[in-house]
Amino acid sequence: MDIDLPFVLTWAVLISGGIWLFDAVLLKPKRVAARVSSPDVGDDTEDHKPILVEYARSFFPVLLFVLVLRSFLGEPYQIPSESMVPTLDVGDFILVNKYAYGLRLPVLGTKIVEIGEPERGDVMVFVPPHDPRYFIKRVIGLPGDRIRYVNKTLYINAERLPYEFVGEITRTHVPTGMVYSAREYTEEIGGGKHFTHRLGRVEAPAEWVVPDGSYFMMGDNRDMSEDSRAWGFAAEDQIVGKAVAIWLHKDPGLHWPTLARNRWLQEEQQ
């Protein structure tokens, strides 16, 4: 079962803060008054403060700090699938910049401060329309763009993206252990280049027009990615942040973490 950590964390902050505030405003004055009228009652900082209030006062600052950090600055995620191979592999831990596209309220996702907007070629974390879990894909189409996908080739507003063949590669599919071959290309979009993989899957030509407040998303592993071709567009109010770096990698199973894949994702576009 997937846990909605921002939701849980937000409620933990509200509950612990509410308990602390309730005690400070209503209960503590009564304890202080009782101590003044009856010196034998003892010091408020010792035995007479409820244990629940002690816990709330202790945990509230820590929970608030973590909530602010995760909601407005950065957050780590682990890549669970091969949809973004070869850019991101299964087991990569990525750092997501939460303020790149504006500051948003936790849980609600409402933007409260404008900072930037997604650009073509960005690797973005978001919540798709059909699944409550976080997805990570590449931004292909912006609001108003006309996207065509024909013979594994992308056209944006009738302009074909530049491609360059790199070579044939062999990979092992992580969940099944199946060995397969793919053709690797560089694709240029948004002023940068990244690698993509193509298999032999046949797809009918398709075309989309990106509506306002939405983005067309695709995985770099084009034939192993469930993306906007299948479920539609990523909504602007469901954006989580921009993936900026790989900071750790751990292969599935009993393997030690490694720093061998560490890099800034911007480096792929140089």
Report pLDDT digits (tens) over 133-157: 899 999 999 999 999 999 999 999 9
Lowest mean pLDDT among 17-31, 143-157, 221-235: 17-31
Spatial separation of the C-alpha atoms in residues 81 and 131, rounded to whole Å: 15
Residues assigned a catalytic role:
83, 137
Q: Label residue 53 by pLDDT band (50, 70, 90).
A: confident
Evaluate if residue 128 carries a pLDDT over 90.
Answer: yes
Domain locations in the chain? 5-72, 79-269
Tell me which of 164 and 115 has the higher pLDDT.
164
**pTM higher than the cut 0.85:** no
- Under CATH, which number does the domain 79-269 receive? 2.10.109.10
The alpha-carbon radius of gyration of the chain (Å, integer) is: 25
Give residue for tokens 């469901």.
238
Q: Label residue 270 by pLDDT band (50, 70, 90).
A: very low
Spatial separation of the C-alpha atoms in residues 85 and 77, rounded to whole Å: 16
Q: Label residue 71 by pLDDT band (50, 70, 90).
A: low
At 1 the pLDDT is 33
Q: For residue 171, what are the CA distances in angstroms to 113, 138, 150, 176, 249?
A: 43, 21, 25, 12, 17
Spatial separation of the C-alpha atoms in residues 142 and 7, rounded to whole Å: 29
Q: For residue 91, what are the CA distances in angstroms to 122, 189, 250, 261?
A: 20, 26, 5, 10
